[in-house]
Amino acid sequence: MALSFRRLNRISYRRLAALCPLQYNNIQVKLTESPGEKPKDTSRVVFGSVFTDHMLEIDWTVEKGWESPLISPYHDFPMSPATSALHYGIECFEGMKAYRGVDGKVRLFRPMENMQRMFNSGQRLCLPAFDKEEFLKCIKRLVHIDADWVPKEPDCSLYIRPTFIGYQPSLGVGPSKRALLYCILSPVGPYFKDGGFKPVSLLADPRYVRSWPGGMGDCKAGGNYGATVLTQVEAERRGCQQVLWLYGDDYKLTEVGTMNMFIYMKNEQGVNELVTPPLDGLILPGVTRKSIVELAQKWENIQVSERSITMQEVVKALEEGRLMEMFGAGTACVVCPVDRILYNEKNYHIPTMDNGAPIAKRAHKELTSIQWGETPHEWSVPVSD
């Protein structure tokens, strides 16, 4: 029996999900009869342009809860022109990867962190709750079915894009009474197409803001990314490759492009400090960020700080010769060094690569060693035993 919207407002989405919970055991699988051609050289594939044979879909309605998960051949959606995700941005997603390890096994990296973040993003958008472990089981089944698409070439991987949308065909602004969880897969090459460990330049322009207190900066919502495109174009026009996002009258550093930010410096007390902005609602709680923090806390002679840092502090540390490295961190690149910032029409040289970027390279090496199965670790999760 359908619930009225007034009744809906009195019931939590967590409880609505329990009407019929998301269950992996109910999964249905329909395999393609026309397998696609796999890339001959994944390293040359344009990011997100090639997709595997199958996809995962799980429908939800306010009347019934979650329907049975379905894995079927990759296809387009029949979608109403009034779909709420199209009009009001009721949409969020995740970015994960599957890696073919040195032993040939396919692994995921800390996938429950992605499930939790997607759950949190969905709750912020008033999308229904779902069982994170059950959804991960469905994703692992999808990756297992399309495991032949996981690249064998060095530094290449299978990008995993779980997505959650409001699917209600209505122009009314409010919680969607219909939702869709789905997941698609895409083989991708290395972040740096020509190989190596290459630094990027940043535009830091206080006129442009990515997030604000009370907003959705800590959610992986599609609207957060669409709003950055213009500034990215402006950065490229001004000779920079990415954007360093600032916030507030004191110009606090938040993120770099779509990555979290790290600064390695000798602070005014003479201590070697690895600084990353805090999880205060302005930045995305990155899985790579969290992993670097947890690894670096075990390193000797380095103080790891999750605190605010301003452009004034960065410039001062540079001028006094105390700033040694800056780098971004994220799923796509793992670690991306920074060598220049254009700020107030002045170029500031960051000495990241001057002495070989030892901190950035150490973080990169330790993380990738876990991701590719070279170092056994609980963060590395086999797709199938």
Q: Are residues 372 and 101 in contact, defined by beta-carbon separation less than 8 angstroms?
A: yes
Please name every residue paired with 243 in a beta bridge, in sequence order, or none if there are none.
203
- Residues 88-97 as b/e (b if ≥16 CB within 10 A, e otherwise) read bbbbbbbbbb
- Predicted confidence at residue 9, as pLDDT, reads 45
* pLDDT above 90: residue 6: no
Instruction: Catalogue all structural domains in the chain, each as residue range(s) with its CATH number.
Output: 5-190 (3.30.470.10), 200-371 (3.20.10.10)
Q: Running DSSP on this structure, what letter comes out for residue 26?
A: G
The arithmetic mean of pLDDT across residues 66-89, rounded, is 97
Provide the residue count of the chain. Answer: 385
Distance separating alpha carbons of residues 1 and 63, to the nearest angstrom: 7
* pLDDT above 80: residue 1: no
Weakest mean pLDDT among 77-91, 94-108, 189-203, 261-275: 189-203
* pLDDT above 70: residue 216: yes
Question: Which H, E and C letters describe 370-382, residue by residue?
Answer: HHCCCCCCCCEEE
- Predicted confidence at residue 194, as pLDDT, reads 63
Distance separating alpha carbons of residues 264 and 334, to the nearest angstrom: 17
pLDDT band at 8 (very low <50, low <70, confident <90, very high): very low
Runs of H (alpha helix) within the chain: 5-9, 13-17, 84-88, 111-124, 132-145, 222-226, 229-237, 287-296, 311-319, 358-371
Average pLDDT value over all residues in the chain: 93
pLDDT band at 3 (very low <50, low <70, confident <90, very high): very low
Tokens of 181: 């969880």
pLDDT tens-digit map of 257-273? 999 999 999 999 999 99
The distance in angstroms from the start CA to the end CA of the chain is 42
Instruction: Give, in degrees to the nearest 5, the angle at Cα 298 between 293 and 302.
Output: 75
Q: Where are any strands of DSSP class E within the chain?
A: 28-29, 54-61, 65-66, 70-73, 91-93, 96-100, 106-109, 157-166, 178-188, 200-204, 242-247, 252-256, 259-266, 272-276, 303-306, 323-330, 334-343, 346-349, 380-382
The arithmetic mean of pLDDT across residues 10-34, rounded, is 78
The arithmetic mean of pLDDT across residues 30-51, rounded, is 94
The arithmetic mean of pLDDT across residues 342-356, rounded, is 96
For residue 360, CA distances in Å to 191, 264, 316, 326, 352 come to 15, 9, 22, 8, 8
Please name every residue paired with 326 in a beta bridge, in sequence order, or none if there are none.
263
Distance separating alpha carbons of residues 74 and 60, to the nearest angstrom: 20
* pLDDT above 50: residue 358: yes
pLDDT tens-digit map of 323-348? 999 999 999 999 999 999 999 999 99
- Predicted confidence at residue 106, as pLDDT, reads 98
> Cα 7 to the chain's mean position, in Å?
35
Coil, strand or helix: which one is 145?
Answer: helix
